[in-house]
Amino acid sequence: MTYALEISALEKTYKGGFQALKGIDLTVEQGDFFALLGPNGAGKSTSIGVITSLVNKTGGKVKVFGYDIDTDLEKAKSFIGLVPQEFNFSQFEPLVNILVNQAGYYGVSKPVAIQRAEKYLKQLELWDKRDEPARTLSGGMKRRLMIARALMHEPKMLILDEPTAGVDIELRRSMWDFLKALNEEGITIILTTHYLEEAEMLCRNIAIIDGGEIVEDTSMKKLLAQLDVETFIFDLQANLTLTSLTQFAEQSQSIAYRVIDDHTLEVDLNKSQNLNQIFEQLNAANIEVLSMRNKSNRLEALFVSLINKKSSTTKAKQQSAVVGAN
């Protein structure tokens, strides 16, 4: 099977000696919606830079739809559409020119490019601005312009580096819908984001990178299954009374809970417990639930624990190396 992206033993050491990538291995299947997560400086943008040939690798192999970037770079590039983290278009050119020129770099003829520019500018709600210089756009519009630009040659794989950074919630959700629709059309999407909720909402598979190493590479479902405890917030119908609370406390001795205020209860649920059990105990205590929600982003908790686990392993290794040296 040909992967959309196949990375093996990828290394990058910058001129100053900083090793940004320490031999990472990664595969992304065709048609996947893949998240690459990691803290700042983890190596996400360097990885994307190498894949898109903006960064020269020091070692390893990268294949895009089976084409090795060392031997078939131009072919490999033709499959990729890139939406970078920072705005990288001419601020002085009108939107249509930016898009038509970009298509031209991929050998798309001008009449076809003009049609596609109209299609994507309309889909991304930028058509009214088509003749304006790019500098007049708002931050959210500039992000959408970069998505339109990346699609002009109709790539098979779209790589988005923090595409919704600084974008308001409404716009972010419309961008999510747009990306989901693209993925349903068969475009492989690789996404880096700081909004972990975004990765959880959109992506089927995920890799977590930290310190230039892949610390987790799995499906989103398997990753979330690693969570031991989830916290739920219950909004209550009526005020909590001392009697009902005492009754609930007696019945639910194995459940950790906190009273946030007289209308809100926070409950921690581990894998061996289920929500039915909680509802039964709440019912028995005459506590009526109006609504319920997750307290925090589940992926965020897991992400923090994975990163912490990795840094404590590194520290332990360093300490044992020091002890060994002594």
Minimum CB–partner distance for residue 281 and another protein (Å): 57
Q: Tell me if 93 contacts another protein by CB under 8 A.
A: yes
Task: Give whichever of 20 and 285 is closer to another protein, judged by the CB atom.
Answer: 20
**Smallest distance, Å, CB 76 to another protein?**
8
How far apart are CB 6 and another protein at their closest, in Å?
19
Size of the site for another protein (CB under 8 A): 37
The yes or no reply on residue 59 touching another protein (CB under 8 A) is no
Confirm or reject binding of residue 114 to another protein (CB under 8 A).
Answer: no
Residue 182 Cα distances to 3, 75, 76, 120, 177, angstroms? 18, 22, 20, 12, 9
Q: Does 53 bind another protein (CB under 8 A)?
A: yes
Shortest Cβ 55–another protein spacing (Å) = 5
Residue 181 to residue 32: CA distance in whole angstroms: 13
- Residue whose entry in the numeric block shows the structure tokens 């909680």: 278
Alpha helices in the chain (DSSP H): 44-51, 73-78, 95-105, 110-123, 139-151, 169-184, 196-202, 220-225, 242-251, 275-284, 298-325
By rule CB under 8 A, what string of x and - marks binding of each residue 245-284 to another protein?
----------------------------------------
Phi, psi of 68 (to 5 degrees): -75, 130
Mark the segment that binds another protein (CB under 8 A) among 100-108, 177-185, 210-218, 228-236.
100-108
Could you tell me if 5 and 64 are in contact, meaning their C-beta atoms sit under 8 angstroms apart?
Answer: yes
What DSSP string describes 223-279?
HHHT--EEEEEEEESS---HHHHHHHHHHTTTSEEEEEETTEEEEEEETT--HHHHH
Identify the residue among 6, 55, 260, 297 touching another protein (CB under 8 A): 55
Q: Least distance from C-beta 83 to another protein, angstroms?
A: 11
Burial of 178-192, coded b for 16+ CB within 10 Å and e otherwise, reads bbeebbeeebbbbbb
Q: Do 25 and 214 touch, CB atoms closer than 8 A?
A: yes
Number of other CB atoms surrounding residue 163 within 10 Å: 26
Please report how close the Cβ of residue 158 comes to another protein at its closest, in angstroms: 12
Shortest distance, position 90 Cβ to another protein, whole Å: 5
Answer for which of 19, 30, 58, 97 binds another protein (CB under 8 A) is 97
Smallest gap from residue 189 Cβ to another protein (A): 16
The answer to whether 156 contacts another protein (rule: CB under 8 A) is: no
**C-beta of residue 189 within 8 angstroms of C-beta of residue 30:** no
Site map (CB under 8 A) of another protein, residues 63-92, x = contact: ----------xxx-xx-x-x-x-xxxxxxx
The dihedral sign for the CA sequence 95, 97, 103, 109: positive
Residue 107 touching another protein (CB under 8 A): yes
Q: Which of residues 178-217 bind another protein (CB under 8 A)?
A: none
Nearer to another protein, 106 or 279 (CB): 106
| 291, two tokens | 């609504």
Site map 5..24 versus another protein, x via CB under 8 A = ---------x----------
Is 11:34 a contact under the CB 8 Å cutoff? no
**Closer to another protein by Cβ: residue 159 or 214:** 159
132 binds another protein (CB under 8 A): no
Q: Give helix 139-151 / helix 169-184 axis angle, nearest 10°.
A: 10
Phi-psi map region of 140: left, alpha, beta (phi>0 left; psi -120 to 50 alpha) = alpha
Residues that bind another protein (CB under 8 A): 14, 49, 52-56, 73-75, 77-78, 80, 82, 84, 86-93, 97, 100-110, 149, 153
